[in-house]
């Protein structure tokens, strides 16, 4: 083995940090860069931020080094860090991810907290378009005695959500189902929640590259001509399959809050509440079915 190979094999985390910073500093904000670095060493080396502060000379194995260097290439290609490590945190829970499902967002956490703060117990809850299962799994984890079901349109997505339910030790019923195809059940839900696709294709130009190039378009975008298409389907389904005085919670495009509220009123929902997210954008709505 050459001296170079020896050195490569015994790279310290400090040396990796210097390499990481030099490669990415022109592409990634400094504060975000440090967050990414600590996320990566925690994931690949099981080495925390505090461990690093106490001993930055920790030597990493060749496998760890290769994983970390590969992560630099992925980040240079603008892959989101959550896909690089294959997981993210949401509601203080860990969720496995791949690019079949959206990366859960902070505003979706706010929607989930709204539902939890409303203290639903012993309820039948449906999450339409469950993706990673972040909403369904979190509700099952933090609400008492609720039966939670998640729907999505592909077996691959259902497998990811199912794995996340298992990892977080909750029981969530996961079903292959497409809200765009009318479905009338012989039972009704107490609560329906959904974060459907709501970004118009006209807005795609304003979306960051790491979202546009890596996250599933089917879960993000709608046609410009019918931006409320999924809401219409969800509201129609809820009219038939939500109990009287049942709750509907939805995440929305801030540019269409008035239109969504009008649609809800037209469909017979009442006590409609619009809520802003932490960026002060109109982002979520709660309504009750007559």
Q: Which residues of 109-128 are buried (b: 16+ CB within 10 A; e: fewer)?
A: bbbbebbeeeebeebbbbbb
In DSSP terms, 87 is beta-bridged to 96
pLDDT tens digits, 57-113: 999 999 999 999 999 999 999 999 999 999 999 999 999 999 999 999 999 999 999
Residue spans of the domains in the chain: they are: 3-77, 90-289
pLDDT of residue 8: 54
Spell out the alpha helix ranges (H) of the chain: 3-9, 13-24, 30-45, 49-54, 62-76, 81-85, 106-117, 134-142, 155-167, 209-214, 229-241, 257-266
pLDDT of residue 2: 34
* pLDDT above 70: percentage of residues in the chain: 97
pLDDT of residue 212: 85
pTM: 0.92
Give the lowest-confidence range in 18-27, 58-67, 100-109, 211-220: 211-220
The pairing of strands 172-176 and 269-276 is unpaired
Is pLDDT above 80 for 216?
Answer: yes
pLDDT tens digits, 242-267: 999 999 999 999 999 999 999 999 99
Query: How far is C-alpha 182 from the geometric centre of its chain's CA atoms?
Result: 26
- Alpha-carbon distances of 81 from 4, 135, 275, rounded to whole Å: 29, 21, 29
What average pLDDT does range 271-283 have in this prediction? 97
Pairwise pLDDT comparison (85 vs 208), residue with the higher score: 85
Whole-angstrom distance, CA of residue 253 vs CA of residue 260: 9
Whole-angstrom distance, CA of residue 129 vs CA of residue 76: 31
* pLDDT above 90: percentage of residues in the chain: 87
- Alpha-carbon distances of 44 from 40, 60, 93, rounded to whole Å: 6, 10, 19
Q: How confident is the model at residue 147 (pLDDT cuts 50, 70, 90)?
A: very high
> Which DSSP symbol is given to 197?
-
Which residues fall within 8 angstroms of residue 20, CB to CB, at 6 or more apart?
33, 36, 37, 40, 68, 72
pLDDT of residue 118: 97
Order of all β-strands in the sheet with 282-289 = 172-176, 147-152, 124-128, 189-194, 242-251, 282-289, 269-276
Q: Which fold has domain 90-289?
A: Rossmann fold (3.40.50)
């Amino acid at each position: 083995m050459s001296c170079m190979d020896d050195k490569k094999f015994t790279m310290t985390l400090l040396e990796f940090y210097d390499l990481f910073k030099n490669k990415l500093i022109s592409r990634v904000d400094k504060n975000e860069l440090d967050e990414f670095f600590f996320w990566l060493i925690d994931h690949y080396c099981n080495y925390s931020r505090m461990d690093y502060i106490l001993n930055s000379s920790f030597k990493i194995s060749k496998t760890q080094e290769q994983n970390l260097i590969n992560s630099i290439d992925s980040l240079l290609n603008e892959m989101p860090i959550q896909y690089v490590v294959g997981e993210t945190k949401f509601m203080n829970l860990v969720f496995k991810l791949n690019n079949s499902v959206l990366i859960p967002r902070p505003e979706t956490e706010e929607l989930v907290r709204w539902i939890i703060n409303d203290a639903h117990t012993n309820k039948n809850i449906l999450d339409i378009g469950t993706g990673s299962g972040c909403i369904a799994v979190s509700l099952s984890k933090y609400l008492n005695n609720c039966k939670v079901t998640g729907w999505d349109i592909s077996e691959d997505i259902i497998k990811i959500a199912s794995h996340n339910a298992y990892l977080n030790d909750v029981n969530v019923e996961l079903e292959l189902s497409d809200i765009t195809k009318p479905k009338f059940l012989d039972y009704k839900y107490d609560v329906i929640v959904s974060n459907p696709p709501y970004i118009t294709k006209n807005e795609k130009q304003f979306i960051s590259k790491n979202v546009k190039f890596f996250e599933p378009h089917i879960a993000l975008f709608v046609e410009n001509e019918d931006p409320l298409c999924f809401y219409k389907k969800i509201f129609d389904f809820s009219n038939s399959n939500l109990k009287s005085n049942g709750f509907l919670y939805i995440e929305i495009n801030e540019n269409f809050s008035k239109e969504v509220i009008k649609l809800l009123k037209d469909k017979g929902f009442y006590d409609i509440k619009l809520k802003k997210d932490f960026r002060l954008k109109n982002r979520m709505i709660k309504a009750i079915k007559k």
